[in-house]
Amino acid sequence: MQIIKVQFLKGEIPSGKAYTYFSEETVSTGDMVQINSSAKGVITEVDIPESEIEDFRDKVKTIVGKVVSESKEEPGERFNVLDSLVAQKCYCKEESYPHFAPEDGICWKCNQQIYAEGKNRMGNLSKGISIEKAGSELITGCPHCNWSYCD
Ligand SMILES: [Zn+2]
């Protein structure tokens, strides 16, 4: 258990005096934490010596935990053969495109699953077609061997 000092956030700005809390997780100065169900705060000090809280140790509360910052990364591509098969079929139907991709997703040229990881002609890993792509683009060729299905 770490003893820390936390300054409450007023809106986005830390304000007022820093209060002493326990933290079950290891935290560091500057971390944004959830103090209780309604308040967030910023850690101003960590590893406060036990002696400093001796007189009021039983009143010291424990923070909820670190605030996980919302990831700004792009949502990763997802791969699933069945979902992608369906996604591509629906896409072709909606757009009135012919369905070029193999019915079962297996490339008839290289025998690999186009909606899953495979190897390209150089023997390197090739990612295959994600569910997102299958649902938003007309598939006209193999992502692994580049064989065209529409010739
Ligand atoms: Zn292929």
Ion ligand 1 neighbours, Cβ < 5 Å: 107, 109-110, 142, 144-145, 147
C-alpha of residue 94 to centroid of ligand 1, in Å? 25
Q: How far is the CA of 90 from the centre of ligand 1 (A)?
A: 22
Max CA pair span of the chain:
82
- Which stretch of 22-26, 43-47, 72-76, 83-87 has the lowest confidence by average pLDDT? 72-76
State the pTM of this model: 0.52
Asked whether the predicted pLDDT for residue 67 surpasses 70, the reply is: yes
Ligand 1 centroid – CA 119 distance (Å): 9
pLDDT digits (tens, 9 = 90+) for 132-149: 999 999 999 999 999 999
- What are the b/e assignments for 71-110, b being 16+ CB within 10 Å? eeeeeeeebebeebbebbeebbeeeeeeeebbeebbbeeb
| Gap from CA of 133 to ligand 1 centroid (Å) | 17
Per-residue confidence (pLDDT) for residue 149, from 0 to 100: 95
What per-residue confidence (pLDDT) applies to 75?
Answer: 66
* 73 has pLDDT over 60: no
Q: DSSP code of 50? A: H
Average pLDDT of span 11-40 = 93
Q: In angstroms, what is the span from residue 54 Cα to ligand 1's centroid?
A: 70
CA of 136 to the centre of ligand 1 (A): 20
Q: 95-135 pLDDT, tens per residue? A: 999 999 999 999 999 999 999 999 999 999 999 999 999 99
Residue 127: half-sphere exposure toward Cβ, Cα within 13 Å: 9
Residue 151, token pair as written in the block? 């010739």
Pairing of strands 13-23, 61-62: parallel
